[in-house]
A and B are shown apart, each in its own frame.
Chain A
């Protein structure tokens, strides 16, 4: 360390003086500015601050529309009138309450709360008391403006779901932004009170749908009248989304499913675009816009049929016999069976001390792979499963996308489960038993899938080897129609199954529907060939007995599956139907698929009837004339 005596400020004298000078100079600049603004122009500013006020008026940006493939509007923006108040101009809160009570659609306590909160808010900024007021209320308030000071009508915009519950839960709903979202939201793009997409497409594509609000700085006098206009910024409307869904198919699917819970999905196997996406029961998202009461919300949440769940991606079910498609391809690829090989089904198969039953108690007789698929013989596939072993089954199932996310990108998607020995050891600490392989082979046991995964699977068989990432949005457009971004299809993976195996299974799938003995006869169209597979997923084990579904209580009935594609030789559409507790796949699910296929062909100009007009428009809900 240097001796203290060695240092002094002398070498830095110049720098030191310069520093002193700079500080004084900088402050002098500030002083001069202050003198100019406070003394010279002080009066002007005083005037501005007291007599005239500058208010910010927001001009909300319209949110982008959501359109179906034929440009029918599914979600739109409509104007609404909000009743608001400016705290600074209210002198008698009691009088305000009395004046508004008869016309407010809110219960008294809620209105009182809203009015009370006015006291604590920013005096010059208007605060909404309630939204979406009816014509009568608007007219009344405008006419009585003088008698009810401080209250004003603001034009705002709100979401209008023209499709009602036809497109939920996939389209999602909107709600007010909560604190957690606000904190994570970067750069203050959102403010408290803003609405944001909460689920589904509204949430996934929020960035594009939301425009940017505009506004203006206006000068108002003491009575709140506009006396000057300073600056403005135009709002930028949100961009529109064009979906690949066909509204006509959606409606048909929903009608066919009727009252039953389940999912109906359709995709174009050539590019992965979703054509139909129905999950039932669902809910009317317009209810959320108006403001849902806690009772309504709880009713939805506790409904045993789960209307808030998107069954297409969140519903987990055993695939049942539909899984035999994968198993057959696996068995042929791994050469544990050859095309002509016949096995005998006598109604049950013995493994160790246990008998595994076939659904047909008298048995199918001698079967080869083709017939086993057509008639969905369990015994045949038990043996396939046994020959393959659970690890190979696991690999092939994974190859078909089971146990993984599909890439559709909607929040809350479940990935299902494909069990194997490793999983069981980790989860339960027990080894895998061969009997469980047999259950998995016919699509039961610990194996669970979502309907969307089944759609990917059957599409991959339809297009002979490509697993697509399903896409709902075709493109994003500017409000004037120019394309902003295209959303091209994305391949997820390739199956790498040999053409010979694929061909055999495809022929069998066609015969499931078109031949006399197939389980899927009720999906027959007539003018085009359909290929598919039925599935009946057991909900509960009933011991060794098979009881006809209609004799069981609904909740214990099996789930009904049907997967298909058409036309069989050059597929354009793949469909998956799941009817919860529907019973047999061939009886409950296949007819729904048939209706969807029929509708698809008639919409595209084929089929037996006259082609319908392609455009489907939704009935806009007439404005409520409630108070």
Chain B
């Protein structure tokens, strides 16, 4: 009978956890700076609301810690189905805001089911591979079920329309598959299929989404719309210089040159105020957390735990990369928030629950 080692956190773990909260604190401060003077709904300012989400999210994180993650594994398909139902519900009954149906209105808060599916998809996929392992790389036929698990929410999210979340789901899913191992010819087939579906996919995009991609390829094409936004974002970031302009001294944000400055372009606000030094440190912090996530993944004791930690880590990675890539003009604007930083209750709580889950898997590595 192996002895139960005490569940001890190493220094690395404490460090990463505090980094997470440090990122959050910086985020709230940046939000405060970005929304100066803008009254929030019902008199509560945005950064105050974000603090509330943090508190709720941390409570959720602790709750998740208490549950044996193997119970989660047991109910993974059920949880996944619930989020599918929510996705369908929001498509049918959600209010249409700016032409998109993404939110369920619960009165005092609004909830986005598309954020939830980001982790429940991973749960379902992890559960599948936990029970259906094979040695060696997977062929496409063996992956019918995971593909289906991915395809349904992918299409539902696309219908909302939420291009950003759909891309995230795609990236997480295929990164996970690549990690688990695909046969060479499967990869080729997927690539071919992917390239072949670009024209069809292009056709299905809404005009403004096409606009954003075209403007990315040729910025002078839309000098009044997203071309202007990218330009302002670059100016904001670049003008931060080495040390930054200082807290609350960002001119671009204060003067409202940046659109969506509390969500998509929050990094630009931060970079303007804290310069290269600040940006470097923030990115380092994210990298450390990501590596920590990968570390969890390597120490997981069962396939479910490994894949869940993998999926959550990739979630973090892709969000950070795409959001910052958007802000600096390296990627087209697709509307992805910066984790733990951008304003937004649904995503923040989902991220914190995910981190709670990571911790959970890690802590139970010694328990049978």
State the A residues within 8 Å of B (CB): 1-2, 4-5, 7, 9, 11-12, 15-16, 19-20, 23-24, 26-27, 29-31, 33-35, 37-39, 41-46, 48-50, 54, 56, 58, 88, 120, 122-124, 183-188, 214-217, 230-233
CB atoms of A7 and B228 under 8 A apart: no
B interface list, Cβ under 8 A from A: 37, 70, 96-99, 130-131, 133, 135, 175, 178-181, 206-208, 220, 222-224, 227-228, 231-232, 234-242, 251-252, 255-257, 271-272, 275-276, 279-280, 283, 286-287, 290-291, 294, 297-303, 306, 310, 317, 321, 324-325, 328, 330, 368
Contact A7 B301 (CB under 8 A): yes
Closest 3 CB pairs of A and B: A45-B238, A231-B223, A186-B99
Return the chain A residue nearest B241 by Cβ. Answer: A42
* Contact indicator A2/B235 (Cβ below 8 Å): no
Please name all residues of chain B whose beta carbon is closer than 8 Å to the beta carbon of A216 when the two chains form the complex.
223
Complex alpha-carbon distance, A15 and B324, angstroms = 25
Q: What separation, in Å, do the CA atoms of A39 and B302 have in the docked complex?
A: 46
Chain B residues near A16 (CB-CB < 8 A): 179, 294, 297-298
A434 CB to nearest chain B CB (Å): 49
A38 touches B241 (CB 8 A): yes
Contact B179 A30 (CB under 8 A): no
A187-B306 in contact (CB<8A): no
- Give, as a whole number of angstroms, the nearest-CB distance from A41 to chain B: 6
**Contact A56-B224, Cβ < 8 Å, known A37-B328, A42-B239:** yes
Minimum CB–CB distance for B190 against chain A, Å: 16
7 more contacts with CB within 8 A, not counting A1-B131, A38-B271, A43-B241, are: A9-B297, A23-B317, A27-B286, A29-B330, A34-B271, A38-B242, A48-B235
Interchain CB contact under 8 A, B235 and A49: yes
Q: Say whether A188 contacts B208, CB under 8 Å.
A: yes
Complex Cα spacing A27 to B287, Å: 8
The residue on B at minimum CB distance from A122 is B256
Interchain Cβ contacts under 8 Å between A and B, 10 examples: A9-B299, A23-B317, A30-B324, A31-B283, A38-B275, A49-B252, A122-B255, A183-B97, A186-B98, A216-B223
- CB-CB under 8 A for A7 and B241, given A26-B321, A187-B207: no
Q: Are A2 and B303 in contact (CB under 8 A)?
A: yes
Contact A39–B242 (Cβ < 8 Å)? yes
Chain A contacts for B317, CB-based, 8 A: 23, 26
User: In the complex, what residues of A have CB within 8 A of residue B96's CB?
Assistant: 183-184
A188 to B223, CA, bound (A): 16
CB proximity of A478 to chain B, nearest CB, Å: 21
* Residues on A with beta carbons closer than 8 Å to the beta carbon of B241: 38-39, 42-43, 46
Q: Which residues of B contact A185 (CB under 8 A)?
A: 98-99
B contact residues around A39 at 8 Å (CB): 241-242, 276
Partner of A2, one of B133, B179, B181, B236: B133
B302 x A7 contact (CB < 8 A): yes
Chain B binding surface SS class = helix
Q: Collect the chain A residues with CB atoms within 8 Å of residue B280's CB.
A: 31, 34
A34 touches B224 (CB 8 A): no
Contact of A49 among B220, B224, B239, B256 (CB under 8 A): B239
Contacts of B236 in A (CB 8 A): 49
Nearest neighbor of A24 in chain B, beta-carbon distance: B287
Residue on A with the closest CB to B316?
A: A23
Chain A residue at minimal CB-CB distance from B251: A49
Q: Which of B224, B237, B330, B368 sits near A215, CB closer than 8 Å? A: B224
The contact of A34 among B99, B276, B303, by CB within 8 Å, is B276
User: Which of chain B's residues have a CB closer than 8 A to the CB of A231?
Assistant: 220, 223, 227
* Distance in Å: Cβ of B362 to nearest Cβ of chain A: 13
Given A20-B291, A49-B251, also A230-B223 (CB < 8 A):
yes
Beta-carbon contact of A183 and B279 below 8 Å: no
Given contacts A15-B180, A186-B99, contact A46 B239 (CB under 8 A): yes
In the assembled complex, the CB of A133 is this many whole angstroms from the nearest CB of chain B, namely 26
- Name the contact of A183 in the complex, choosing from B98, B251, B272, B325 (C-beta under 8 A): B98
- Cβ–Cβ contact B242 & A42, under 8 A: yes
Q: Which residues of A contact B223 (CB under 8 A)?
A: 215-217, 230-233
Residues of the A chain whose Cβ atoms lie less than 8 Å from the Cβ of B234: 37, 45
The answer on a CB contact under 8 Å between B130 and A1 is yes
The CA of A26 and the CA of B328, in the complex, are separated in Å by: 14
User: A15-B181, A23-B291, A123-B255 in contact; A38/B237 too (CB < 8 A)?
Assistant: yes
- State which of A30, A50, A186, A188 has its C-beta within 8 Å of the C-beta of B328: A30
Select from chain B the residue with minimum beta-carbon distance to A26: B321
Q: Most chain-A Cβ atoms within 10 A of its Cβ — which of B222, B238, B276, B279?
A: B238
> In the complex the two chains form, what is the Cα distance from A185 to B100 in whole Å?
10
Please measure, in the bound complex, the distance between the C-alpha atom of A108 and the C-alpha atom of B312, giving whole angstroms.
60
- Docked-complex contact B222 and A233, CB < 8 angstroms: yes
The CA of A471 and the CA of B323, in the complex, are separated in Å by 51
For the complex, give the distance between the alpha carbons of A197 and B157 in Å: 33
Q: Which residue of B lies closest to A33 (CB)?
A: B328
Contact B237 A37 (CB under 8 A): yes
Which chain B residues lie closer than 8 Å to A31 at the CB level? Answer: 280, 283
Q: Which of A38, A44, A54 contacts B276 (CB 8 A)?
A: A38
Question: A171 CA to B190 CA in the complex, in Å?
Answer: 56
Given that A187-B99, A188-B208, A233-B223 are contacting pairs, would A19 and B235 also be in contact in the complex, using a CB cutoff of 8 Å? no
Max chain A Cβ within 10 angstroms of own Cβ: one of B97, B181, B328: B328
Q: Which residue of A lies closest to B100 (CB)?
A: A186
Complex contacts, A4 vs chain B, CB 8 Å: 301-302, 368
> CB within 8 A of A233: which of B224, B276, B324?
B224
Q: How far is the CA of A42 from the CA of B242 in the complex (A)?
A: 8
- Decide: B256 and A23 in contact? CB cutoff 8 A: no
Q: Closest residue of chain A to B240, judged by CB?
A: A38
Which residues of the partner chain A approach B291 to less than 8 Å between Cβ atoms?
A: 20, 23
- B242, closest chain A residue (CB): A39
A22 to chain B minimum Cβ distance, whole angstroms, is 8
Taken together as a complex, chains A and B put the C-alpha atoms of A448 and B133 apart, in Å, by 74
A123 vs B37: C-alpha distance in the bound complex, in angstroms?
12
State the Cβ distance, B217 to closest chain A Cβ, in Å: 15
The closest CB in chain B to the CB of A29 belongs to B330
Decide: A50 and B239 in contact? CB cutoff 8 A.
yes
